[in-house]
Amino acid sequence: MWLDRIDRLSDLPDALLVKILSLLPTKQVVSTMLLSKRWQFLWMFVSRLEYSDDIFQDGRFLRFLYSSLLLHQAKVLECFSLKLGRNSGDIDLGVCVTPAVNRCVRELIVEIDASSTETHFILPRSLYTGCRMLVTLKLQNAVLVDASEMFSFPSLKTLSLISMKYPGDGFIRKLLSSCPVLEDLFVVKCRGDNVARLVVRVPSLKYLTVRTTSEVEYHQGLVLDVPSLEFLDIVDYTDGFCIVENSMSKVVEAHLDVTYSHPQQLLASLTSLVQLSLCLTTSMDTHFDGTTFSQLEQLKVCTCETEWLDLLMRLLKAAPKLRFIVLELSHGIRTEDPLRDWNQPSRVPECLLSSLEYFDWKQYGGREEEKQVARYILGNSGRLGLATFYPKSTNLVKNLQMLTELSMSPRRSSICQLEFCGNYNHVSK
């Protein structure tokens, strides 16, 4: 029966068989050469080659990799993927990547598992000039060396650089300047990457994600000139800075989890936002007053820092169309300092009176300051339909007490329902 099915497949044209083979893992594709004479050479023309050293042991991976690359004959590669770890041995990335470059590869992925090997894998210089058809480039835990040649990535739209090592700041600027149609950039910085200030000047860029953890040297810098940007996601725990050189008037979604001492300029450049998620270690100074987020509908504020309440009140004042607010303790308490003394604003923000519909508070602790904020929002939100509280405590008695206190708080909206989720579920009419 199985052989009959193989015979039926053999009746299909070569071009269709090659397409079918391209959907399979490369190890299985190569093994089809043993089926019959008809299949002996078909695998050599598949347009996708995906290698991972975790499917081989005892050095067989390198033999399989080098021999299959040597025999492969497709003129164009849709994808070349290479994932290396403890079984990769003394692999030469140049021998592996250069054939893909020479075959006008469209998607190139090189991922190194740094936890399982201490080898420094160096990418070949041919990558910089030979990838004119490359659309997607994803690199992880490898080394990019300097080159006197001009970089050329005229078709590149997606670029991912995770824990890479560079010759210096200028290298990334040179690399990005050679990508005239780049739309999506994902960067994870690492210790010893030789980049103290990441400069992103890409007129075509629409999506930008930058991760800089506390393991990286302190005071990292980010410079942005991205007028077409629509999505921004920054995580930076190095007490660094961000400079915005030109307007970012097209950004509709931003996620900022940073320890910048002066985040005002960055926030003030994002006035076109519809969705915003924030975790800041500093409050906004008076220079932020007057900034308006006229399109902002969804706001999430992390409550792990003592400044979150000041930040929330300033944003309520600045966002007249807010519909959804989420407060969440996302990182655990970084400090045990009490919240700043809070006095209710003399004027109720417009969003509470006319637009807020949903309010979620995750990891609600029931401290006195939190109770005051909850009562204020419940008592002043004219269109609020649902307020949901997720208690931080696992104590049933304490949760019931917090629910009772909240359910007795005045609610301006006649349609507002109060829901308590966790060890005790209840909706108060």
Residues 98-112 have a mean pLDDT of: 91
Read off the pLDDT band of 4 (50, 70, 90). low
Lowest mean pLDDT segment, chosen from 62-66, 100-104, 187-191, 307-311: 62-66
Predicted pLDDT of residue 159 = 98
Predicted pLDDT of residue 344 = 78
Query: Which among 54-68, 373-387, 399-413 has the top mean pLDDT?
Result: 373-387
The 10s digit of each residue's pLDDT in 173-209 is: 999 999 999 999 999 998 889 998 999 999 999 999 9
Reported pTM: 0.87
Q: At what angle do helices 308-318 and 368-380 cross, to 10 degrees?
A: 10
pLDDT surpassing 80 at residue 414: yes
Predicted pLDDT of residue 32 = 64
Read off the pLDDT band of 24 (50, 70, 90). low
Mean pLDDT (the chain, rounded)? 84
Predicted pLDDT of residue 424 = 42
Predicted pLDDT of residue 349 = 95
The 10s digit of each residue's pLDDT in 416-429 is: 999 988 654 444 44
% pLDDT > 90, the chain: 42
Lowest mean pLDDT segment, chosen from 206-220, 316-330, 413-427: 413-427
